[in-house]
Structure 1
Amino acid sequence: MLKTSKFLILSWLSVTALYTYAQNPAADPAEISIDLAKEKAPMKPVWAWFGYDEPNYTYMKDGKKLLSEIAALSPVPVYVRAHSLLVTGDGEAALKWGSTNAYTEDANGNPIYSWKIIDSIFDTYVKRGMKPFAQIGFMPQALSTHPEPYRHHWKPGDNYSDIFTGWAYPPKDYKKWGDLVYNWVKHSVERYGKKEVESWYWEVWNEPNGYWKGTQQEFFKLYDYAADGVKRALPTAKIGGLNIAGTGSKGAQQWLNAFIKHCTVDTNYATGKIGSPLDLLSFHAKGSPKLLKGMVQMNMAPQLNDIATGFRIAASYPRTKNIPLIIGESDPEGCAACGMATNPSNAYRNGTMYSSYTAATFARKYELEDEYGINFKGAVSWSFEFENQPWFFGFRDLATNGVDKPVLNVFRMFGKMSGSRVLALSNRMYPLKKVLDSSIRGARTDIGVLASKDKKAAAVMVWSYHDNDLQGPAEPVNIKINNLAVKTVIVTHYRIDDKHSNSYEVWKKMGSPQNPTAAQISELEQAGQLQTLGKPRQMQVKSGSILLNIELPRQAVSLLKLDWK
């Protein structure tokens, strides 16, 4: 009894792992080593990018709340990408649908521009210090070569191709299309100022190998006229594309290579000159979970291979090797609005599996950046919120009814990492090649690490991830941090697991209410915030090093934050 009490009092910092190991001599602690003197590259906030299908959620109650939280967690401006910014309609929000009514025509076919709804979307971003990754799409009804049917009414379980209605077709007049883009960018400069709009990124359309009902050359023509409109309004604006889907496939690679070639040596459809503006290159990357005998099994190999392919292609051209590369959508799978009821493999989304997957994949994205030597700017997590939907319905979102899910706390952890990435090694981290070949399917979990160092701080992110959604005992992890040039540090341990930073587990213990009380909602909101494991502690640095011994449950994520004066 005395030993147990002493264990509880001393908490997490060194006794936890030693006590567990003593009770289980067969335990094999994971060994992690951090060298703060060996800087690898800047700790770029490539995670500070988010996106979603339904633009009208932006200015709704829970949308504003979540955007405020996302803006607050990042030390740099967050970029936001949304579909359907030029779609015709009354601004009603629905799954896989949004509209702004930016373009209509009078009885004589003359353009009528209306920026009210787009302004309300971009105002919401800019007021929070966020930046649009402004998507030029989709086709207004009055410009579409196939205007009917136009408004779809898709719901989970329906055929996904039902969403591709009149908005997905080429324009009947490319000059009017280019003038629409010109007037939009011109209006943005007038409203927000030249300097602000110069900090945005503009991109044309989305997934032309799926969301486009024209030919490849018609898409290149669409791009040329849009890019010309952007540059006529603001020559210093940054424009690119093409946000291709399934980047690892041969078809997508053909698109990507043809697009780069078009922007480099082909005749521009809008100007008649050679080439087209290309200030950024973007593509998509998705994983592929499945249900295996009632168990969710993730697969990050397709997602990371998509990224590797995009990086490799960009690195192979002088035109694209050094321009910003943006993974326009980077997720465990492809349909954010498909819930668990219709897609049982999406059951990973509410709990800590989504959190540990996110930590493990972002670490590999940095590894791929190092390998290919390209200008990796950002990876858009296509995950936001779905207004007025059932609690924890299984959408791929960061929050449900204003309550943050565990995955959002991974981004809060990333927000505490700054300065430079430093050398971090774990004897339990799967090699990148192994993950690219077969994801994380071995007998043991991936206990991986990502570390950073700034002038007066360091941070170590550690996760325990496996593709199989199974529970398992916590494992001891020994973390040695070397080359600390100070005498003392304050160590704060942030944790995401079944008991910390986890609104979903709290909701389940409440009985999974679909109409929680005000008191329950308050409790859920608190549970959704990033929490610490124990209190911050002061530690003495001995011979330039400290040793942290923790226990890490399966699918958990820890961030060990060191601060000094």
Structure 2
Amino acid sequence: MRMIWVGAVLSVVGGLSAGAQVATGDAVKIAVHAGERTGKYSPDWNFFGADEPNYITAPNGKKLLRELHDLSPVPVYFRPHNLLTTGNGDGSLKWGSTNAYREDADGKAIYDWEITDKIFDSLKDAGVRPLVEVGFMPEAMSTHPQPYRHDFPKGDVFTGWSYPPKDYDKWGALVEAYATHLKARYGAETDTWLWEVWNEPDIDYWHGTPEEYDRLYDVTTAAIRRVIPAAKVGGPSATGIHVGKSEHMLRQFLEHCESGKNAATGEVGAPLDFISYHPKGSPKVVNGHVEMGLGEQLGSVERGMKVIASYPKWKQTPIIMTEIDPEGCAACKGPQNGYRNGPLYGVSVAEAMARSYELAKIYGVNLQGGVTWAFEFEDQPYFAGFRELATNGIDKAVLNVFRMYGKLGGDWVKTESSGELGVEEIIRDGVRAKDDVGAIATRGERAGAREVDVMVWNYSDEDVAGAAAKIQMTIDGLPKGTVQVEEFRVDEAHSNAYGVWKRMGSPARPSAAEQGELEQAGKLESLGAASRVKVKGGGVGVPMMLPRQGVELVRISW
């Protein structure tokens, strides 16, 4: 049962979830002003990606793609690595391949789109749009081809695929043939896709100079645009942004696109429809528990926006953070990454996405998207600690946070929270001294109904038990009459298949019945039936006890 009040009248009384700690101290007051619209809501969360493109075609991969499509009416994009990497199409950790390019004994190109077609067909069948990351270097074209395939986690992963081409003309011809094939197979849909050149050229993903990356960018975008003139192209997909190498990479790239000599056309500048970079956090184990690094992650978001805002030509160019994650390696396991099985991963995403909107508004830049670098891994144990959205067909708690984000729409409305930390405070100090209890809200229409959707979080960097937040939330600016109130929750006890799996005894091979129970537990859970409430004084109240590392979505509709 939940508590709902109207004006000063308490209409339903309820209690805490089982296992939640009792809140102490003053209640957090959250006010949602549904009549005060603050701008058009544009989703930034609807982008996903992975190192391993071949997992897209696996049964669990196809299932998950359909779930991503179903998150929301807005288009969902998927960004895979390794779309031009040489190999037989087998996937493994941090590896994938398509064998798109080989050469005969005379050095003539052999193009093979069979594996590529399976990947793009799976995306098309699910209704998911590609964010085509053009890379990596085929073995026959690499300036340093051997060794080529790595064996992660053993040895160096940055092998022959990470080097520049021996012949930029051959590279341009490959990209043009690739775009031509995709255009012929998928038609006008390719005009809606996004095209990004390479990945993280400021580190060992690119064994070339920044200037060589500029050349690669020029040749690649020119080849794409010859085939698909309306193609939206972007880069440089730099890490961070951090002070030093990655900031230099971004700045020199923006300056090249504005005033440098184009290596493909000989003209001044290069096309740039979106700017990409990769903010990451850095969790660590402190005193036996995980301590997240949200401040570091948001600091990287901010530095990238500051750099872009400093260039008048590029300040309003869409920004897509083509990887934005709590840490840097989806396929890496270890005690510092164990949080990824449960709700802490989800609440950290909820906060990072919300705060990225806030930073974009502060710096006056155009945030279009943030790619969550997580999908699913094949042939791995259940809940192995990877950064993934699902494990063996079972959705993790983080996917339910995206289901919450999918319920937002329309316009932003003003929200205030007495428990919310300032974004600059988080960047400076993290979220350690006290929990951050904040909210965002939108107002829109869907299926003929008007609605206000409010996302509330209770986040701490510290992965330890803590008191629930006692929250008194009011939503004003509502019309006279009655409204329907629905509540959805992600926390240790709700929408968390990992908790159910642990209570089962952590079975390595769940039975069919257990698998079904776990798949059901992976869905977004509501807190009871929807309630009909009469509006008094222009508003309603929804109090809640929100556990630490919990997220709640409240929908008011009429």
Q: TM-score range by the shorter chain?
A: over 0.9
How much identity, in percent, do the aligned residues show? 47
SS of the equivalent of 2:552 reads strand
Task: Decide which of 78, 81, 95 is 2:79's aligned counterpart.
Answer: 81
- Which residue is 1:347 aligned to? 338
Query: What is the distance in 2 between the residues matched to 1:393 and 1:403?
Result: 12
SS of the equivalent of 1:58 reads helix
Task: Decide which of 336, 356, 361 is 2:347's aligned counterpart.
Answer: 356
Alpha-carbon distance, 1:224 to partner:
1.0
**Pair 1:543-2:543 in alignment:** no
Alpha-carbon distance, 1:27 to partner:
3.6
The amino acid that maps onto 1:441 is R
Q: Retained in 2: the 8 A contact 1:51–1:80?
A: yes
- Which residue is 1:108 aligned to? 106
Query: What is the distance in 1 between the residues matched to 2:2 and 2:106?
Result: 75
- Which residue is 1:244 aligned to? 238
1:477-496 equivalences under 5 Å are: 477-496=471-490
Query: What is the distance in 1 between the residues matched to 2:119 and 2:243?
Result: 34
SS of the equivalent of 1:454 reads strand
Query: What is the distance in 2 between the residues matched to 1:355 and 1:504?
Result: 12
1:374-413 equivalences under 5 Å are: 374-413=365-404
- Which residue is 1:207 aligned to? 200
Query: What is the distance in 2 between the residues matched to 1:142 and 1:314?
Result: 37
Query: What is the distance in 1 between the residues matched to 2:61 and 2:69?
Result: 12
**Pair 1:448-2:442 in alignment:** no
1:53-77 deviations in Å (ceiling 9; x for gaps): 0000000011111111111112111
Query: What is the distance in 2 between the residues matched to 1:25 and 1:263?
Result: 53
- Which residue is 2:308 aligned to? 314
Alpha-carbon distance, 1:241 to partner:
0.4
Alpha-carbon distance, 1:127 to partner:
1.8
1:14-163 equivalences under 5 Å are: 27-155=25-153, 158=154, 162-163=156-157
**Pair 1:276-2:270 in alignment:** yes
Q: Retained in 2: the 8 A contact 1:17–1:551?
A: no
Q: Retained in 2: the 8 A contact 1:207–1:242?
A: yes
Q: Retained in 1: the 8 A contact 2:27–2:471?
A: yes
Aligned length: 544
Query: What is the distance in 1 between the residues matched to 2:15 and 2:133?
Result: 54
**Compared CA separation, residues 266 and 18, structure 1 to 2 (3 A):** same
Alpha-carbon distance, 1:306 to partner:
1.1
Query: What is the distance in 2 between the residues matched to 1:299 and 1:249?
Result: 17
1:483-533 deviations in Å (ceiling 9; x for gaps): 002411111100111221110000000000011100000000000000111
SS of the equivalent of 1:132 reads strand
Q: Which runs of 5+ in 2 are unaligned?
A: none
Tell me which moved more, 344-353 or 470-479: 470-479
SS of the equivalent of 2:37 reads strand
**Compared CA separation, residues 17 and 251, structure 1 to 2 (3 A):** farther
**Pair 1:498-2:492 in alignment:** yes
Q: Retained in 2: the 8 A contact 1:27–1:475?
A: no
**Pair 1:216-2:216 in alignment:** no
Tell me which moved more, 143-152 or 122-131: 122-131
TM-score with structure 2 length normalisation? 0.95
Alpha-carbon distance, 1:472 to partner:
2.1
TM-score with structure 1 length normalisation? 0.94
1:400-425 deviations in Å (ceiling 9; x for gaps): 00000001000000001110111111
1:335-360 deviations in Å (ceiling 9; x for gaps): 00011xxx211111011111111111
Query: What is the distance in 2 between the residues matched to 1:120 and 1:180?
Result: 19
Alpha-carbon distance, 1:372 to partner:
1.4
1:289-328 equivalences under 5 Å are: 289-328=283-322
**Compared CA separation, residues 24 and 473, structure 1 to 2 (3 A):** closer
Alpha-carbon distance, 1:12 to partner:
4.2
Query: What is the distance in 1 between the residues matched to 2:59 and 2:310?
Result: 45
Q: Retained in 2: the 8 A contact 1:248–1:302?
A: no
Query: What is the distance in 2 between the residues matched to 1:26 and 1:406?
Result: 26
Query: What is the distance in 2 between the residues matched to 1:415 and 1:464?
Result: 19
Query: What is the distance in 2 between the residues matched to 1:205 and 1:33?
Result: 44
Q: Retained in 2: the 8 A contact 1:74–1:415?
A: yes
Query: What is the distance in 1 between the residues matched to 2:313 and 2:64?
Result: 37
**Compared CA separation, residues 394 and 18, structure 1 to 2 (3 A):** closer
Alignment RMSD, CA only? 1.6
Query: What is the distance in 1 between the residues matched to 2:391 and 2:23?
Result: 43
- Which residue is 1:556 aligned to? 550
Query: What is the distance in 2 between the residues matched to 1:35 and 1:207?
Result: 41
Alpha-carbon distance, 1:25 to partner:
10
Task: Decide which of 519, 526, 536 is 1:525's aligned counterpart.
Answer: 519
- Which residue is 2:429 aligned to? 438
Q: Retained in 2: the 8 A contact 1:329–1:380?
A: yes
Q: Retained in 2: the 8 A contact 1:18–1:549?
A: no
Q: Retained in 2: the 8 A contact 1:17–1:550?
A: no
Q: Retained in 1: the 8 A contact 2:23–2:467?
A: no
Alpha-carbon distance, 1:17 to partner:
7.8
The amino acid that maps onto 1:81 is R
Alpha-carbon distance, 1:41 to partner:
2.0
Q: Retained in 2: the 8 A contact 1:474–1:554?
A: yes
The amino acid that maps onto 1:123 is D
Alpha-carbon distance, 1:320 to partner:
1.5
